[in-house]
Amino acid sequence: MRQSGILNAGILSLKMQFIVHFHQAVLDNNLADITVAYESGWNKYTEKFYSKTEWPEAELIAPLVNDGAHFHAFLKLMLNWI
């Protein structure tokens, strides 16, 4: 069981890192990073972790990015898009 918890924490950490990186790309208005994050990261994580369930609500993810209002709106749009 402990190994499963560590694995789950590692997966959670990867997803958190992705959201934080994606948020920074949006803040920086870095179209190249946004494109890469969306095309490889967003789709990869959606297929791997959320193929049978939905992404967490934007309100649950928002604290990872200090409740950034612009990113929150962007994330809601992305979550409704898939």
C-alpha 30/C-alpha 47 separation (Å) is 24
Question: What number of other Cβ atoms are within 10 A of residue 59's Cβ?
Answer: 11
Structure confidence at residue 1 (pLDDT):
42
**pTM (predicted TM-score):** 0.66
- Overall average pLDDT of the 20-30 stretch: 88
Q: Which of 2-6, 9-13, 26-30, 77-81 has the lowest mean pLDDT?
A: 2-6
C-alpha 63/C-alpha 70 separation (Å) is 13
pLDDT tens, position by position, 47-63: 888 888 887 777 777 78
